[in-house]
Structure 1
Amino acid sequence: MFFKNQFKVKDRSYFDALTVAGSMGLHMVTHTLVGGVAGYYLDEWLGTKPWLLLTFLIFGIVAGFRSVFQDTKRLSRKQAKSDAEKFDSKD
């Protein structure tokens, strides 16, 4: 089979990095969505349209960016550690 060995990757760190990078966009969307929905329903319940929606939407966006920033830092540290182990000179 032609494709059998085509997609074999011996180093699992590639797949780990890909899953973290793929989840970053998902974090942005879910945090923003949760903030918007919570703000909408609180506005409906308390009758404060549109202030709580805007406030919680902004909180959701900030939380999404914070989550992406933390994931990026974690991925960067992991990659730096992997590079240091792989390319460390043995003099």
Structure 2
Amino acid sequence: MAQEPDPERLRALEARLAEAKGSKAKPAAAGKDFSQAEVAWRMVLELTSGIMIGGSIGYGLDYLFGTRPILLIVFLLFGFAAGIRTVMGTARDMQERQLRAQAIETQAEHSAGTEG
């Protein structure tokens, strides 16, 4: 039978490995930093997908009710608004990540300056 790993021993081992490497280990939950191009493409895709989904719904409803192009135009505008809202949320999230990273960096520089 396999033994269950002891969490305290694992943490102690990780701390010793980080100390041996001479640098602090980054937490696993830190995630991946995205480049500016990746963020820009994400925003473009969010906006266009909102417009396309809204247009598709509008076209489908126009087809069902025979009211061409009224619902198509209305739902295109709804899709555009939804896409803009999603892009703004993404921009807000990216700004918060950047501010957190700057705060951590500033805190690390401050603590390094007081150690010496």
TM range (shorter): 0.7 to 0.9
Q: Which residue of 2 aligns with 1:6?
A: none
Length-normalised TM-score, structure 2: 0.61
Length-normalised TM-score, structure 1: 0.77
Cα RMSD (Å) = 1.5
Secondary structure at the counterpart of residue 43 of structure 2:
helix
Give % identity: 32
Q: Which residue of 2 aligns with 1:49?
A: 68
1:29 has 2:48 as partner: yes
Does the 8 A contact of 1:17 with 1:75 survive in 2? no
User: Which aligned pairs between 1:51-70 and structure 2 lie closer than 5 A?
Assistant: 51-70=70-89
Which one has more relative contact order, counting CA pairs under 8 Å at least 6 apart? 1
CA–CA distance in structure 1, aligned partners of residues 40 and 100 of structure 2: 18
How many correspondences in the alignment? Answer: 78
Q: Which residue of 1 aligns with 2:104?
A: 85
After superposition, the C-alpha distances for 1:9-64 in whole angstroms (9 at most, x for unaligned) are xxx42xx2443332110001111011011101110110111111011000000000
CA–CA distance in structure 1, aligned partners of residues 50 and 44 of structure 2: 10
Q: Structure 1: which 5+ residue stretches go unaligned?
A: 1-11
CA–CA distance in structure 1, aligned partners of residues 35 and 66 of structure 2: 44
Query: For the pair shown, which has the larger CA radius of gyration, 1 or 2?
Result: 2
